[in-house]
Structure 1
Amino acid sequence: MNGRDDLRDFLMSRRAKLTPEDVNVSSYGQRARRVPGLRRDEVARLAGVSVDYYARFERGQVPGVSDSILDAVARALRLTDVERQHLGDLVRALGPARSRSPRPKAAAIRPSVQRLLDAMDGTVAAFVCNANMDVVAHNTLGATLFSGWRTAPGQSPNQARFVFLEPAARELFAEWDNSADGIVAILRAHAGRDPHDATLAALIGELSMRSDTFRVLWARHDVGIRYSGVKHFHHPQVGDLTLDTEVIPLPADPGLTLITHCAPAGSPSDDGLRLLASTIGLRSAPVAVRAPGFGPRFPASG
Structure 2
Amino acid sequence: MAERADIKDFLTTRRARLTPEQAGLPDFGGRRRVPGLRREEVALLAGMSVEYYVRLERGNASGVSGSVLDGISRALQLDDAEHAHLHDLVSAANDGKRPSRRRTRTGYRQISENMQRTLDAMYTVPAYVQNGRLDIVATNALGRAMFSEMYVDEHRPANFARFLFLDSRSPSFYFDWEDAARQTVALLRSEAGRAPHDRALSDLVGELSTRSHAFRTRWASHDVREHRTGIKEIHHPAVGDLHLTYEAMNPTSDRGILFVVYTAEPGSASHERLQLLANLTATNPSAPQDYPSR
Q: How high is the TM-score relative to the length of structure 1?
A: 0.87
Q: Which structure: greater helix fraction? A: 2
Partner in structure 2 of residue 43 of structure 1:
42
Aligned runs of 1:141-152 on 2, under 5 Å? 141-150=142-151
> Between Structure 1 and Structure 2, whose CA radius of gyration is higher?
1
Letter in 2 for 1:215: R
Distance in 1 (alpha carbons) for counterparts of 2:90 and 2:240 = 46
Are 2:15 and 1:5 aligned? no
Aligned runs of 1:30-109 on 2, under 5 Å? 31-97=30-96, 103-105=103-105, 107-109=109-111
Assess, with a 3 A threshold, how the Cα gap between structure 1 residues 277 and 151 changes in structure 2: closer, same or farther.
closer
Q: Which moved more, 1:100-109 or 1:154-163?
A: 100-109
Letter in 2 for 1:62: A
Partner in structure 2 of residue 167 of structure 1:
168
Structure 1 contact 229–244 (Cα < 8 Å) conserved: yes
Aligned runs of 1:130-145 on 2, under 5 Å? 130-145=131-146
Assess, with a 3 A threshold, how the Cα gap between structure 1 residues 270 and 282 changes in structure 2: closer, same or farther.
farther
Structure 2 contact 98–194 (Cα < 8 Å) conserved: no
**By how many angstroms is 1:154 displaced?**
7.1
Q: Deviations over 1:237-295 (max 9, x none)?
A: 11111112111122212311011222133322121112112223359xxxxxxxxxxxx
Structure 1 contact 232–242 (Cα < 8 Å) conserved: yes
Q: Which moved more, 1:257-266 or 1:232-241?
A: 257-266
Distance in 1 (alpha carbons) for counterparts of 2:97 and 2:235 = 48
Give the number of aligned pairs.
281
Partner in structure 2 of residue 273 of structure 1:
274
**What's the RMSD between the two structures over aligned residues?**
2.2
Partner in structure 1 of residue 23 of structure 2:
23
Q: Which moved more, 1:149-158 or 1:228-237?
A: 149-158
Letter in 1 for 2:10: F
Letter in 1 for 2:276: L
The percentage of counterpart residues that share the same residue type is: 46
Q: Which moved more, 1:177-186 or 1:4-13?
A: 177-186
Structure 2 contact 91–97 (Cα < 8 Å) conserved: no
Structure 1 contact 182–225 (Cα < 8 Å) conserved: no
Partner in structure 2 of residue 295 of structure 1:
none
Distance in 1 (alpha carbons) for counterparts of 2:152 and 2:175 = 23
Distance in 1 (alpha carbons) for counterparts of 2:8 and 2:48 = 17
**By how many angstroms is 1:60 displaced?**
1.1
Partner in structure 2 of residue 176 of structure 1:
177
Q: Which aligned runs of 4 or more in structure 1 are off by greater than 3 angstroms?
A: 97-102, 150-154
Q: Structure 2: which 5+ residue stretches go unaligned?
A: 285-294
Q: Deviations over 1:119-163 (max 9, x none)?
A: 112x21111101111111001111111111147767211111111
Q: Secondary structure at the match of 1:133?
A: coil
**By how many angstroms is 1:174 displaced?**
0.8
Q: Structure 1: which 5+ residue stretches go unaligned?
A: 284-302
Aligned runs of 1:217-236 on 2, under 5 Å? 217-236=218-237
